[in-house]
Amino acid sequence: MAHAEDVEVLHWWTSGGEAAALNVLKDDLAAQGIGWVDMPVAGGGGEAAMTTLRARVTAGDPPTAVQMLGFDIQDWAELGALANLDDVANAEGWDGVVPEALQRFSKYDGHWIAAPVNVHSTNWVWANKKVLDELGIAQPQTWDEFVAAMQKVKDSGKTALAHGGQAWQDATLFDGVVLSVGGVDFYKKALIDLDPEALGSDQMKEVFDRMTVLRGFVDDNFSGRDWNLASAMVINGDAAFQIMGDWAKGEFLKAGDVPDQDFLCFRVPGTAGMVSFNSDQFAMFKVKDPAAQDAQKAMASAIMSPKFQSAFNVVKGSVPARTDVPNDAFDACGKKGMADLAEASANGTLVGSMAHGHANRAAVKNAMYDVITAQFNGEYDSATAVEELVTAVQDAQ
Ligand code: GAL
């Protein structure tokens, strides 16, 4: 039974690493007397959670706080469903410490409507160090070296690339591959500006060609596999690599693994200096009860505290959503993630992740997902996929 001073939190953090991070948040709120009513909806990337959210809102019973990504936040704000957090944000000076790239999603019409808890990024590779050492494989620096390394692993009988065949996971690979083929300019033109020329270009064909190469390094049982089970294959040494956002690090840490010693984290070869980011934010749905509103504000404030941002993100695998949090508590991958984010943000090489709702609204994202997944599963050759992508994106706008 929920009390007014409780928050009911809808989220999709159900894997081992995610749940560990969620506990940091639960404990932090509990210490402040805010009760927690858990509403988990399993499913990486949050698609299932967003379906549940729509049903709850339609039924007139929205949860008080919801984990959300990018353009989904803007969509709910546009419908007038989200509470205004300006009081807390102004009192605590969020404007001065939250990077612009995040504010673009945390604010609507100039008002704060979400509290960002982290910054993840998708163009990472996670590798089992022991497997690489045994096979004499050095950390690949270029795309060709990466392909050669995967071939060596495959020849040894192990799985080269741990992957789960779910649309959002295929799309997560796609984020990194687009950056590796055409860099930030091409990524922006194709995935953010939706320029038909870029979407239909030879470079895009090259992207699909690389997706086919990756598909050749995935094991036979990949269909439908959850991302954290793919991470487990790397952790157990059954597979060498996984291309996945840095939430994967949460799984390695949960298993007791240490960066540089047990596993390696490096950018998708060909994407050094570039970051495709997504930020988990908590949006508060409008509620009438003043005590419930106070609980929402207290939760938003707790999320934004620098101490909490450090404690939470150390466990989650992400980096803080504010620029003034020291990196002392972070491991080597976390420190690199923080440095990469600052550098990309200064150099204009920070882009929103298409796969995780930070490049375009859900309709366009889903249209891209369909083509990417169909091509990955061999339904289209690269040339057809390019044509389908142009049409699908056009129809979705
Ligand atoms: C992402 C989310 C991450 C992570 C991942 C897998 O969309 O931003 O926090 O949990 O999904 O569930």
Please write the tens of the pLDDT for every residue from 193-246.
999 999 999 999 999 999 999 999 999 999 999 999 999 999 999 999 999 999
Q: Is the predicted pLDDT of residue 1 greater than 90, yes or no?
A: no
Closest-CA residue, ligand 1 atom 11, reads: 45
pLDDT for res 2: 58
Question: Atom 6 (ligand 1): residue with closest C-alpha?
Answer: 44
Overall average pLDDT of the 147-155 stretch: 98
Ligand 1 pocket: which of 25, 120, 226, 249 to mutate (most atoms <8 Å of CB)? 120
Q: Is 27 exposed, middle or buried (0-12, 13-18, 19+ CB in 10 A)?
A: exposed
Name the more confident of 5 and 165: 165
C-beta of residue 177 within 8 angstroms of C-beta of residue 210: yes
Pocket test for ligand 1, best of 247, 278, 315, 356 (most atoms within 8 A of CB): 247
CA distances from residue 182 to 27, 323, 330, 337 in whole angstroms, order as listed:
44, 29, 31, 22
Residues 6+ apart with CB under 8 A from 44: 12, 15, 164, 166, 168, 169, 226, 227, 228
Q: What pLDDT score does 4 carry?
A: 65
CB 130 within 8 A of CB 153: no
CA–centroid distance, residue 204 to ligand 1 (Å): 26
Centre of ligand 1 from the C-alpha of residue 251, in Å? 12
- Residue with the smallest CA separation from ligand 1 atom 2 is 45
Residue 95 has pLDDT above 80, yes or no: yes
Looking at residues 107-124, what average pLDDT do you find? Answer: 98
Which atom of ligand 1 is the closest one to the Cα of 357? 7
Q: Give the residue-averaged pLDDT of 329-337.
A: 98
Residue of the CA atom closest to atom 1 of ligand 1: 45
Handedness of CA 48, 50, 55, 59 (dihedral sign): positive
- For residue 12, the ligand 1 atom closest to its alpha carbon is 12
- All structural domains of the chain, each given as residue ranges with its CATH number in brackets, are 7-120+278-345 (3.40.190.10), 122-276+347-396 (3.40.190.10)
Q: Ligand 1 center to residue 172 CA distance, Å?
A: 11
For residue 383, report the distance from its CA to the centre of ligand 1, in Å: 31
Are the C-beta atoms of 299 and 8 separated by less than 8 Å?
no
Q: Tell me the pLDDT tens digit for each residue of 8-62.
A: 999 999 999 999 999 999 999 999 889 999 999 999 999 999 999 999 999 999 9
Average pLDDT rounded to a whole number, residues 264-279: 98
Tell me how many helices (H) and strands (E) the chain has: 18, 14
Q: How would you classify the pairing of strands 159-161 and 350-352?
A: unpaired
Single pTM value for the model: 0.97
Q: For the residues 331-350, what does the mean pLDDT come to?
A: 98
Instruction: Tell how far the Cα of 305 is from the centroid of ligand 1, in angstroms.
Output: 21
8-state DSSP, 83: P
Q: Which two tokens stand for residue 206?
A: 């090259």
Joined together, the tokens standing for residue 130 give 């022991």
Distance from Cα 45 to the centre of ligand 1, integer Å: 5
Residues framing ligand 1 (Cβ under 6 A): 12-13, 18, 44-46, 69, 120, 227, 247, 278, 280, 356
Atom 7 of ligand 1 has which residue's CA nearest to it? 45
- Please compute the mean of the pLDDT values over residues 350-370 and round it to a whole number: 98
Centre of ligand 1 from the C-alpha of residue 319, in Å: 13
C-beta separation of 368 from 395 below 8 A:
no
Quickly state the pLDDT bin for 5 (edges 50, 70, 90). Answer: confident
358 CA distance to ligand 1 middle (Å): 12
CA nearest ligand 1 atom 12, residue? 44
**CA-proximal residue: ligand 1, atom 3 (nearest):** 247
User: Whose alpha carbon is nearest atom 8 of ligand 1?
Assistant: 280
